[in-house]
Amino acid sequence: MKKSGLVGFIVFIFLLSACSQGQSQQSNPNDLSWDEIKQQADGTTVNIHMWGGDEGINQYMDEWVAPRLKEQYNITLERVPMDTQNILQKLQSEKQAGKKDGTIDIVWVNGENFKNAKENGLLYGPFRDQLPNFNDYYDQDSLAFQYDFGTPTEGYEAPWGKVQFVFQYDSNKISNPPKSFDELQSWINENPGKFTYPNPDDFSGNAFLRQLLYATVDDPKEIIEEPFSNEYATKKAEPMWEYLRTIKPDLWRNGEHYPASLTELDRLYSQGDVWMTMGYNEARAEHLIEQGVFPESTRSFVMEPGSLGNTHFLAIPFNSSNKSGAMAAINFLLSPDAQYKKLEPTYWGDNTPISVDKLPEEQQKKFESLDRGETVLSTERLENSFLPEADSGYVEWIKENWKDEIIRNQ
């Protein structure tokens, strides 16, 4: 009996290791024409792993995209909600374990996550330039697609959307929102306890500081165009730390505690504890009002010298077992129809990276006449204030230094 237990144990171990075997049968889509890729994708299932924290986005994928993808390409789309960091972690573990037949076909990435994934060889590619919709409707030379937070994309990801960083305020409580960071400073001084920003470990809190960094140097170009180095950042960031130290005593809770996430800041805003919130999506207030989280009187604003914007992308993991299906699905997500629906406030309200002037006239009109909602600033206002992201090195650098400069030893 003892022996059989041992045998069972060994069998169990073999079973465990057997899971990691198996070969991918598909040929590399790099050598195939688009028609062959479409053929290969026909009747398959594509697993997209993406951040699932926004109901609007989830509904867009499940209710609008999935049925049409089935209809047009005969592809079944399975959406798995997961934080991007965890997706990359999973891929990294699979790579270490030598697992060739992965379960993830598409990931939604940008910025430092993309940099990590690309540098650690977690992505398949280049594939972007094989997508007909990308070639037809997108500006091939746009710097916004060539670089992702300073990392060259080199065709390893395809642009899916773009967002801009905006602030939200309650128009019942504030009649004239600040127009610059200087005005914000005096506003905070006059209204102590009514403003705070998320901890820079949080994505949005970090973006707030990057935006402030742009505002406290003489010209944002100094940050955008210079390559990142610790010395340069230390030198340039001093006025930013100074600014933060100045406003600190007048922040919510005297600047001793900061919301750990944007959700927490939104909660404070919805309870009226603070009067402003912010976020990396110019249309976010629309569905937050609809869900009853934000007061109806919420409006958004941007400040001088501009509003941070970035493009977000779709990529394919190195071990996806359905690369052709993934490419077909991404091509569909980049199509004018899918982009238009994504732009509408109904589901998501996410801005499109598509070049509207490359579209057929009828669709151009459709895009141009779309009303994105009352809380969203005009396209013109957004475009005029657009500032691209600098090197993703700043994200990490700010995370590392903020606590030392602002919280500890103060």
Partner 1 sequence: MRLSETNKAWLLLLPAFLFLLLPLYGLLSALWSSLTVNGAFSLSVYQQLMERDAFWGSLFYSLRIAIIATLLSLGFGLVFTRTFTHYLNKTSGKLAAWIPMLFPHFVWGYLVLLLFQQSGFISYMAFQIGIIESREAFPILTNDKNGFGMIITYMGKEIPFVILMLLPIYAQQNSQYHDLVRTLGGNRWHRFKDAEWPWVYPVLLETGVILFSFIFSAYEIPYLLGATFPEMISILTYDWFYAGDWSERPLAFAAMIFTSVIIGIIAWIGFSLMNRKRWLLTKGSR
Tokens representing 326 are 């993934």
Q: Residue 24, Cβ neighbours under 10 Å: how many?
A: 14
> Is the CB of 116 or the CB of 324 nearer to partner 1?
116
CB of 271 to partner 1, least distance (A): 5
By beta-carbon proximity to partner 1, the closer residue of 100 and 267 is: 267
Nearer to partner 1, 27 or 85 (CB): 85
User: At residue 25, what is the residue type?
Assistant: Q
Residues that bind partner 1 (CB under 8 A): 1-2, 5, 9, 12, 85, 112, 115-116, 120, 193, 199, 201, 253, 256-258, 260, 268, 271-273, 392, 395-396, 399-400, 403, 407-408
Residue 404 CB, nearest approach to partner 1 (Å): 9
Phi and psi torsions of 65, nearest 5°:
-70, -50
Please compute Rg for the chain using Cα positions.
23
Minimum gap (Å) between residue 288 Cβ and partner 1? 19
- Provide, rounded to whole angstroms, the least separation between the CB of residue 365 and partner 1: 42
* Residue 22 or 272 having the CB closest to partner 1: 272
CA 325 to CA 42: how far, in whole Å?
7
Q: Tell me the β-bridge partners of 80.
A: 49
**Interatomic CA distance for residues 157 and 145, integer angstroms:** 9
Residue 249: how many other CB atoms lie within 10 Å = 13
Nearer to partner 1, 207 or 354 (CB): 207
Smaller CB separation from partner 1, 15 or 218 = 15
- Quick one: DSSP state of residue 253? G
Token pair belonging to 57: 């986005």
Q: At closest approach, how far in Å is the CB of 166 from partner 1?
A: 24
Cα dihedral 242, 245, 248, 250 sign: negative
Q: Are 348 and 185 in contact (CB under 8 A)?
A: no
CB-nearer residue toward partner 1: 368 or 400: 400
> Could you tell me the smallest distance in angstroms from the CB atom of residue 396 to partner 1?
4
How far lies 42's CA from each of 74, 76, 320, 322, in Å?
Answer: 5, 9, 16, 11
- CB-wise, 1 or 143, nearer to partner 1? 1
Are the beta carbons of 108 and 312 closer than 8 angstroms? Answer: yes
Smallest distance, partner 1 to C-beta of residue 232, A: 17
- H helix or E strand, kind and range, residue 218: none
- Asked if 137 contacts 160 with a C-beta cutoff of 8 angstroms, the reply is no
CB of 400 to partner 1, least distance (A): 8
Q: Where are the beta strands (DSSP E) in 86-154?
A: 106-109, 123-124, 147-148, 151-152
CB-wise, 195 or 258, nearer to partner 1?
Answer: 258
The per-residue DSSP string of 315-348 comes to EEETTBS-HHHHHHHHHHHTSHHHHHHHHSTTTT
Whether residue 295 has a cis bond before it, omega within 30° of 0: no
Distance of alpha carbon 124 from alpha carbon 259, whole angstroms: 37
Amino acid letter at 83?
D
Sequence-distant (6+) residues with CB within 8 A of 249 are 192, 255
Cβ closer to partner 1: 5 or 292? 5
Minimum Å gap between C-beta 5 and partner 1 is: 6
In the complex, the smallest distance separating the C-beta of residue 90 from partner 1, rounded to whole angstroms, is: 13
In the complex, what is the shortest distance from the CB of residue 291 to partner 1, in angstroms, rounded to a whole number? Answer: 18
- 319, 20 Cβ separation under 8 angstroms: no
Q: Which is nearer to partner 1, 337 or 404 (CB)?
A: 404
